[in-house]
Homo-oligomer: A and B are copies of this chain.
Amino acid sequence: MVKRYLTVTSLSETLSLLTTVFTCTPAREIVPLLKSVGRVTAEPIFARYSVPEVHLAAMDGIAVDSKETRGASEQHPVRLVQAVRVNTGNVVPPRFDAVIMIEDVHIENEHFTIRKAAPPWQHVRPAGEDIGESEMALPSRHLIRPPDLGALAAYGIMEVPVLTVRIGLIPTGSELVSHGNIPAPGQVVESNTVMAEALLAALGARCTRYPMVNDDPEQIRKALQRAVRENDLVIISAGSSAGTKDFTADVIADLGEVLVHGVAIKPGKPAIIGRIDKKPIIGMPGYPLSALTVLREIVTPLVHRFGLPVPAFGTVDARFIVSVSKDIGSDEFVLCTLGHVGDRWVLSPLSRGAGVQMSAVRSNAFLKIPAGVEGCEEGTLVTANLTVSQEEAERALLVTGSHDPLLDYLADLLSQKDVELHSTHVGSMGGILALKKNECHAAPMHLLADDGDFNIPYLKKYLPGEEVVLICVTERQQGIVSKDGIGFDALPGHTFVNRQRGSGTRMLLDHLLTKNGIDPSTISGYEREVTTHLAVALAVKSGEADAGMCVYSAARALGLRFVPVASERYEIGIRHEHLEDRRVSELCNTLVSPGFKEILGRLGGYDTRKTGVRRELP
């Protein structure tokens, strides 16, 4: 039997259902003060005593009775009968009500003479200046920050009652292996409950990850019963395998009830909301990005109803730079790269595959495209939801165009300069278009023109008259990657894996095929496209193809053989107007740094003699 979702519930309905169905009584726990940062108070906290408890000197000087100082002046110095030396922080003895700074006191034989009257309470920190005995220092539901913690320490507080939610996490799926094991082919490391615990524990939840459970109704049932007993909220995480083995909903229905099976969100549609013993049970889908979406959009608001804080980084208005289409009827959450180019934010979608965790790693924002629309057009002004602080997003350097493995190493070097290189692999032609539309900071490219030069003829054609600088990253070798040392001429008769149209590598291949009179249709797999050099090498290594074309470093990284076919100039194009931008100038500096050259030497296949050479257009 193949099961399908009978009804899918909208996200907003799901969220209001959560509000009406569950009471969400917060749990509390007592933590030592020093462990309370980032937690939320469960009740108001009162000062145990006044701070300061008595009047203190706010200056170094002498404590005086202000009445005794009356009438003192330059002409009529007053020698004080009673006064004592005090330092800042010392107790002002009860018979005194003011402090005179030591600079204004003439001291002779332990007698004090002054030339200016002191008004009452001058330079005195009165008792209770900071807080009064019994006064409320923090209300309940206050998120404790380091200065709050310092204050509570000063007010005599040693333990703090804070809110928590006990959350049970049950991983299910026979194909899973637990974190720390090397998965066999077809096995997957169980990482979703690891991510969930990291996310929820940071909000103050007390998470218990239960042992993994196979796709077996009886095992799931037992695990669920125990988790419900021991927690306020249970998240049951499916394996990424669903199909005939999706028993979770049945078991929930059997122990309690299924309120929602299928939420109209993408990724995350297979989510389940259930109730057992009045407690919420969340069925979290197995694809990592589906799990992430359910955690962010459903679990976090629910946990907030238990009193825990919700992390929020705010939003910015941004220009969406690629058209995406989607099915109507679901809210789609698209992970994106956000960067500030010139005077505007630009937002670019990352791979939307629910299994591509690197999209989450690479993203610093996401876009919500509502259920009612069919997609988002290129150029639309949208609201980007940050997933990092705005300061961090402002460090993003957008590099859009041709891919080379060296970009990762460039990113690594730049991160030490507080610059985050975000590279989008759209091929050299894609980079030229991004440059034309001013939607990136730098565009790497390697486009061979008919005249034998690289890149400049294309820039002249697509950005005529525009002020652009080309900086040579490296000259590099492209070649045929294979297990057996296949050469270019031997491509017909072998299965091939190709790069996408618009990529410089694809254009180079097509150029060479034409030049050598080879018909692409004689190459099996010519239509199979991937978007990076490493993906080509991987396809060869995995046996999916016998050969492909890529740079030497990718072949070498996977221990494959490489037959060179061409040398080419890999340059980055930068609009003149961005050269002064800190992120761009750090990029330019890093390109010519010894550290970068050293890395290129190590990766292999790069010739750095022209690295850093600038060519200006027009």
Known A56-B186, A389-B313; contact A412-B136, beta-carbon cutoff 8 A: yes
Q: How far is the CA of A80 from the CA of B153 in the complex (A)?
A: 75
Measured CB to CB, the nearest residue on chain B to A139 is B412
A292: B residues at CB distance < 8 A: 147, 150
User: Which residues A222-260 have CB closer than 8 A to chain B?
Assistant: 239-245
**Interface pair A415/B128, CB less than 8 Å apart:** no
11 CB-based A-B contacts, threshold 8 Å: A52-B188, A55-B544, A58-B355, A87-B243, A89-B186, A91-B186, A127-B542, A130-B357, A145-B387, A147-B360, A158-B180
Known A202-B37, A353-B129; contact A242-B88, beta-carbon cutoff 8 A: yes
**Interface pair B140/A158, CB less than 8 Å apart:** no
Known A151-B358, A538-B133, A558-B133; contact A89-B286, beta-carbon cutoff 8 A: yes
**Interface pair A392/B243, CB less than 8 Å apart:** no
**Interface pair A151/B360, CB less than 8 Å apart:** yes
Measured CB to CB, the nearest residue on chain B to A557 is B134
Could you mark each residue 144-159 of chain A with 1 if its beta carbon is under 8 Å from any beta carbon of chain B, else 0?
Answer: 0111111101111010
Of the candidates A128, A390, A539, the one having the most CB atoms from chain B within 10 angstroms of its own CB is: A128
Q: How far is the CA of A135 from the CA of B186 in the complex (A)?
A: 20
**Interface pair A391/B139, CB less than 8 Å apart:** no
Kindly provide the distance from the CB of A97 to the nearest chain B CB, expressed in whole angstroms. Answer: 8
**Interface pair B140/A416, CB less than 8 Å apart:** yes
**Interface pair A90/B241, CB less than 8 Å apart:** yes
**Interchain CB contact (< 8 A) of A197 among B34, B288, B525, B539:** B34
Kindly provide the distance from the CB of A503 to the nearest chain B CB, expressed in whole angstroms. Answer: 17
Measured CB to CB, the nearest residue on chain B to A311 is B389
**Interface pair A150/B34, CB less than 8 Å apart:** no
A102: B residues at CB distance < 8 A: 2
Kindly provide the distance from the CB of A577 to the nearest chain B CB, expressed in whole angstroms. Answer: 25
**Interface pair A138/B542, CB less than 8 Å apart:** no
Nearest first, the 10 A-B pairs at minimum CB distance are A150-B195, A87-B243, A89-B241, A153-B191, A147-B360, A146-B199, A91-B186, A60-B243, A151-B357, A146-B198
Q: How far is the CA of A62 from the CA of B89 in the complex (A)?
A: 80
Would you call A175 an interface residue if the criterion is a C-beta within 8 Å of the partner chain's C-beta atoms? yes
**Interface pair B360/A60, CB less than 8 Å apart:** no
User: Which residues A107-156 have CB closer than 8 A to chain B?
Assistant: 120-121, 125-143, 145-151, 153-156
**Interchain CB contact (< 8 A) of A129 among B38, B139, B355:** B355
Q: Which of A443-451, A486-494, A527-535 contacts B (4 or more CB under 8 A)?
A: A527-535
Would you call A611 an interface residue if the criterion is a C-beta within 8 Å of the partner chain's C-beta atoms? no
Measured CB to CB, the nearest residue on chain B to A245 is B87
**Interface pair B139/A191, CB less than 8 Å apart:** no
**Interface pair A134/B558, CB less than 8 Å apart:** yes
A539: B residues at CB distance < 8 A: 126-128
A137: B residues at CB distance < 8 A: 358, 361
A34: B residues at CB distance < 8 A: 194, 197-198
User: Which residues A398-457 have CB closer than 8 A to chain B?
Assistant: 408-409, 411-412, 414-416, 421
Would you call A6 an interface residue if the criterion is a C-beta within 8 Å of the partner chain's C-beta atoms? no
**Interchain CB contact (< 8 A) of A88 among B125, B243, B538:** B243
Kindly provide the distance from the CB of A525 to the nearest chain B CB, expressed in whole angstroms. Answer: 8
Kindly provide the distance from the CB of A308 to the nearest chain B CB, expressed in whole angstroms. Answer: 12
Would you call A44 an interface residue if the criterion is a C-beta within 8 Å of the partner chain's C-beta atoms? yes
Would you call A189 an interface residue if the criterion is a C-beta within 8 Å of the partner chain's C-beta atoms? yes
Measured CB to CB, the nearest residue on chain B to A50 is B538
Would you call A607 an interface residue if the criterion is a C-beta within 8 Å of the partner chain's C-beta atoms? no
Please give the residue numbers on chain A whose beta carbons come within 8 Å of chain B beta carbons, in ascending order. 2, 33-34, 37-38, 44, 48-56, 58, 60, 87-91, 94, 97, 102-103, 120-121, 125-143, 145-151, 153-156, 158, 175, 179-180, 182-183, 185-186, 188-192, 194-199, 202, 239-245, 286, 288, 291-292, 307, 310-314, 353, 355-358, 360-361, 387-392, 408-409, 411-412, 414-416, 421, 525, 527-528, 530, 532, 534-535, 537-539, 541-544, 557-558
Kindly provide the distance from the CB of A409 to the nearest chain B CB, expressed in whole angstroms. Answer: 7
**Interface pair A125/B415, CB less than 8 Å apart:** no
Measured CB to CB, the nearest residue on chain B to A240 is B89
A127: B residues at CB distance < 8 A: 538-539, 542, 544
**Interface pair A198/B149, CB less than 8 Å apart:** yes
Measured CB to CB, the nearest residue on chain B to A542 is B127
**Interface pair A44/B392, CB less than 8 Å apart:** no
Kindly provide the distance from the CB of A266 to the nearest chain B CB, expressed in whole angstroms. Answer: 14
Known A89-B240, A239-B89; contact A191-B154, beta-carbon cutoff 8 A: yes
**Interface pair A147/B87, CB less than 8 Å apart:** no
Q: How far is the CA of A355 from the CA of B527 in the complex (A)?
A: 72
**Interchain CB contact (< 8 A) of A408 among B120, B135, B387, B408:** B135
A544: B residues at CB distance < 8 A: 55, 97, 126-127
Q: How far is the CA of A83 from the CA of B196 in the complex (A)?
A: 37
Kindly provide the distance from the CB of A448 to the nearest chain B CB, expressed in whole angstroms. Answer: 26
A151: B residues at CB distance < 8 A: 191, 288, 357-358, 360-361
**Interface pair A408/B194, CB less than 8 Å apart:** no
A390: B residues at CB distance < 8 A: 312, 314
10 other contacts beyond A132-B534, A139-B412, with CB at 8 A cut-off?
A49-B183, A130-B355, A130-B356, A141-B415, A149-B198, A150-B194, A150-B291, A151-B358, A153-B191, A312-B391
